[in-house]
Amino acid sequence: MPDPLGPLFDALESINAELTGFTARLARLEDAGAIRGAAGKKGASSEDDGSDSTRVPGTPIAWHKVAEDHREELWGKFVSWVVRMADTYELTTEQLPHACWWEHGAVVAELTALWTGWESAYNSEEDAAAGPYLWHDAWARGIERIGRMWLGECTNGYHQQKSRTVWGTDPAYRKTAIEAGPPGIV
């Protein structure tokens, strides 16, 4: 009789192998970033200054941390990538609104993560088969999330933000939540 847990153990072994590969790739990116960052500015890393000149492709980007003098160049590269991907994958305006995608912070964050993932997948010689395949899986899920979750009511060139309460505009709200403390243990 075959072992009923055999397929589960096979799947776990496969996941473990992928995680090991990702860990090695991350370590290489971190090492490269530390070396380039140290060469560019004494005591600074590419994450600290946000500069594209010291940035290793695939390094995550937090737009609010990118230095002002590097933001325009990096944003231009990002927008060019988004336009190329939208054309390559024939995105519709329901998937990514042509007229206003950059006005939605969550859409920009999702696309930025997809861009850095693409750079990582296509700039690695060591995992040339799995990286692009895994990126395409992330792309499909990311584009679905953009259309389903992150957009307001934008369609066919009409920009309309989501109807919602903005959390960060009321200092009393933040104070109340902090003073309330965490919930009791259940």
Q: Tens of pLDDT along 61-116? A: 999 999 998 999 999 999 999 999 999 999 988 888 888 889 888 899 999 999 99
Residue 32 lies in a domain: yes
Q: Tens of pLDDT along 118-164? A: 999 988 776 667 889 999 999 999 999 988 777 766 766 666 666 66
Cβ burial, residue 62 (10 Å; 0-12/13-18/19+): exposed
Using CA atoms, how far residue 167 sits from 174, 175, 181, in Å, is 8, 12, 18
Residue 51 lies in a domain: yes
Q: Which amino acid is at 98?
A: H
Tokens linked to 102: 């950059």
Q: Tens of pLDDT along 35-63? A: 344 333 333 343 444 444 568 888 899 99
Domain of 152, in residue numbers: 11-163
At residue 50, the pLDDT reads 42
**Integer Cα distance of 10 and 166 in angstroms:** 46
Give the single-character DSSP code of 184: P
CA angle 180, 183, 184 (to 5 degrees): 120
Q: What domain count does the chain have?
A: 1
At residue 44, the pLDDT reads 39
Residue 119 lies in a domain: yes
Residue 174 lies in a domain: no
Residue 176 lies in a domain: no
At residue 177, the pLDDT reads 83
Residue 6 lies in a domain: no
Residue 58: Cβ within 10 Å count? 22
Residue 128 lies in a domain: yes
Residue 61 lies in a domain: yes
